[in-house]
């Protein structure tokens, strides 16, 4: 894990791979909870029996937006900024869902700091390239360019 004291210390890593997260799995119970919360009950996500019959490999598929929502949890094992007042998810420049994620597979995040720029209020705006890898797959699950505003 990359440990930085301040946002400015993190900014010094612009253009570099910050690291790779621990492996995680998204269980069916999390997919079901997300489906209930978002009202996205499409059978490919929640009907384990039907998926077993009709989908390749016979497994349900994680919602793309659930995978996207998991980025902060995976971030936490890659880097830490100890002396910061706050960090705010500022937005995204792009998100691409490349490969469907079967429930229960192992995933990990690779994070590269693309750039850092000063913003009003004494903060820094960071742009990160996020790539979610599926264990054993040739292509990633997700590639996103995320933006975080961080203040010391």
Full-model pTM: 0.93
Instruction: Return the pLDDT at 93.
Output: 96
pLDDT at residue 85 greater than cutoff 90:
no
Q: Assess contact for 63 and 120: CB atoms under 8 A.
A: no
Number of H helices, E strands in the chain: 6, 8
Each residue of 100-140: pLDDT tens digit? 999 999 999 999 999 999 999 889 999 999 999 999 999 99
Average confidence (pLDDT) over 82-100: 95
User: Which residues, in sequence order, are CB contacts of 108 under 8 Å at separation 6+?
Assistant: 20, 21, 22, 23, 24, 74, 132, 133, 135
Q: Pick the closest to residue 20 from 71, 70, 77, 67 (CA basis).
A: 77
- Which CATH superfamily does the domain covering 2-26+71-151 fall into? Hotdog Thioesterase (3.10.129.10)
Instruction: Return the pLDDT at 152.
Output: 87
Each residue of 11-30: pLDDT tens digit? 999 999 999 999 999 999 99
Domain boundaries, the chain: 2-26+71-151
Instruction: Return the pLDDT at 56.
Output: 87
Each residue of 73-83: pLDDT tens digit? 998 899 999 99
User: Which residues, in sequence order, are CB contacts of 110 under 8 Å at separation 6+?
Assistant: 17, 19, 20, 21, 130, 131, 132, 133
Each residue of 39-84: pLDDT tens digit? 999 999 999 999 999 998 999 999 999 999 999 999 889 999 999 9
């Amino acid at each position: 894990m990359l440990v930085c004291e301040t946002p400015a210390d993190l900014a010094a890593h612009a253009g570099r791979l910050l690291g790779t997260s621990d492996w995680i799995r998204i269980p069916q119970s999390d997919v079901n909870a997300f489906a209930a919360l978002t009202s996205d009950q499409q059978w490919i996500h929640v009907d384990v029996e039907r998926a077993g019959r009709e989908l390749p490999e016979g497994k349900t598929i994680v919602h793309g937006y659930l995978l996207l929502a998991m980025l902060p949890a995976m971030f936490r094992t890659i880097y830490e900024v100890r002396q910061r007042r706050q960090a705010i998810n500022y937005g995204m420049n792009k998100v691409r869902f490349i490969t469907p994620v079967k429930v229960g597979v192992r995933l990990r995040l690779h994070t590269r700091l693309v750039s850092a720029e000063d913003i009003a209020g004494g903060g820094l705006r960071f742009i990160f390239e996020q790539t979610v890898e599926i264990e054993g797959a040739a292509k990633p699950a997700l590639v996103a360019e995320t933006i975080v505003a961080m203040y010391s």
